[in-house]
Amino acid sequence: MTESVATAQQFNSEVPDSEFWTVHQGDARKLGDLLRRAALVAGREGQPFVQTTITSPPYATLVDYGSENQIGFGQSYDDYLESCRSVFLEVNRWTLDAGSMWVVADSLLERRRKGGAPSRLVPLPFELARQAEAVGWTLREVIVWRKDRTRPWSHHGKLRNGFEYVLFFVKSNSFTFEVDRLRETNGLKSWWVKYPERHNPWGMTPDNVWEIPIPVQGSWDNAAFRHACPFPPELVRRMVRLSTNDGDVVFDPFAGTGAVVAEATRQGRRGLGVELNPKYVSLFREGAPTMGALPSESSSVGAMTQRLLELRMLKYPKDLAKQIVRGGFTTTHVRAVTVEVKSVNYKPSRTAYGRIECSVVVADDLSELDRARLSKLMLEVGAKPPLSKYGLEAKCDIVSIAEASSKFVGREIAVYTKGRTWHADFSIDGDRLEDWVRKTGVPTVVPVISPLLVRQSLEESL
Ligand SMILES: C[S@@+](CC[C@H](N)C(=O)[O-])C[C@H]1O[C@@H](n2cnc3c(N)ncnc32)[C@H](O)[C@@H]1O
């Protein structure tokens, strides 16, 4: 336990605007003055301005954070909950409609109960959620933060506690939640090569179990004075990236040594914190451990994303040919399909990943009637799964063998046979396309031809 320190509980109103986005010493039950001033500095006088709040309230009445009149330690459990509720209410008032609040908390064991009743697990995160909902927040998601190390407590009937809860609250339906920013392409199963259309090129939607190690204290910390539970920067980073944009205000009313403010600042947001214990505030100001260069929001497109996009664009014409054959045509009629990439949308997007142009190359003796039938079929199959699921804008037409060849004069083109659109068999000059198609005769599987050259092995990742 650290020594108790007396604290001035009013926020220092002398702080100049230029130094405002930092951790302030003060009491989270008296946020009014600070938040009014913050709204003014943020250019939104008297109006909501906080985009998200990321915080962990004191651990019920169990942990002494070393200041007099702190929330939690020294209070009754009911008073503690009431104090947290008053903080949640004030935060809600100053939060933008699209805003949110993240609360990190853990359950606890109530021992020595009356009449020798068994120790009881208190679901503190959900009791805090009840307080938050009572003052206008809506609980929207619960994330399990899986930790590598925990407090060394053990008790009969308890397993080693390996996680904490992260509660995500929203103020309205228009809340910001940029899930694309947390997608990852690591860990794709080997079948991504054959089935690129089943993978978002930016990776899977992240799940709600986050494995994040606790930081090793010491690198920035004064060894003689440590905080009991600093947030790991990675935990804060995920919440900031999900729920805020550049320049937004990120608030923490129980700031401790300021991990939220530091990481929010590093991400190009405006971080604001309040902490009762002046020693923690000084520690933040001396160290500001995680401040540094701003990483760019628009991280460059990874090799895996690029490859998944290419594979999608090459597989589309193969599936188009397959649907055409299912619709009654044979490879005697359809001799190849060409595909050209017209544009790629390099931003995670819920609309199209890009635009392609496909040409179905038909035999010279295909009748006008059959051409018309094929054209109608192509429209029909393009509007239905599997093709409609590719997320591509595809413009498709029908061309003769000679027309196909003339499109690629002077360009090198890759030829994908036997349906292996992830690995080109060979490439040829566009001028030789007509020769090649005629010489090959009737294929068993319609070949795909494209200026896009991909040679991806099934076994190896990128
Ligand atoms: C669970 S810790 C937060 C740690 C923080 N997330 C970090 O990364 O360092 C809770 C903090 O709330 C602070 N606290 C307790 N009562 C407070 C009050 N009335 N106003 C502001 N902070 C308070 C404690 O001093 C403690 O640092």
Write down all domains in the chain, each with its CATH number in brackets: 17-287 (3.40.50.150), 303-450 (3.30.300)
Q: Provide the pLDDT for residue 216.
A: 55
Res 293 pLDDT > 70: no
Q: Ligand 1 pocket check: which of 31, 254, 261, 290 to mutate, most ligand atoms within 8 Å of Cβ?
A: 254
Res 289 pLDDT > 60: no
Closest ligand 1 atom number to CA of residue 260 = 8
Q: Provide the pLDDT for residue 344.
A: 84
**C-beta of residue 253 within 8 angstroms of C-beta of residue 53:** yes
Q: Which residue's alpha carbon is at the smallest distance from atom 13 of ligand 1? A: 254
CA distances from 84 to 34, 49, 132 (A): 18, 21, 8
The finding on whether 28 has its CB within 6 A of some atom of ligand 1 is yes
- Mean pLDDT, residues 57-83 taken together: 93
- Mean pLDDT, residues 332-347 taken together: 90
- 366 or 205, which is more confident? 366
CA–CA distance, 13 with 61 (Å, rounded to integer) = 30
Q: pLDDT tens across 416-430, in order?
A: 999 999 999 999 999
Res 301 pLDDT > 70: no
Least confident of 43-57, 221-235, 342-356: 221-235
Q: Provide the pLDDT for residue 1.
A: 37
Q: Provide the pLDDT for residue 114.
A: 87
Q: Ligand 1 pocket check: which of 81, 275, 281, 283 to mutate, most ligand atoms within 8 Å of Cβ?
A: 275
Torsion 129-130-134-138 (CA) sign: positive
Least confident of 31-35, 207-211, 229-233, 313-317: 229-233
* Cα–ligand 1 centroid distance for 54 (angstroms): 12
The finding on whether 56 has its CB within 6 A of some atom of ligand 1 is yes
Closest ligand 1 atom number to CA of residue 231 = 8
Res 266 pLDDT > 60: yes
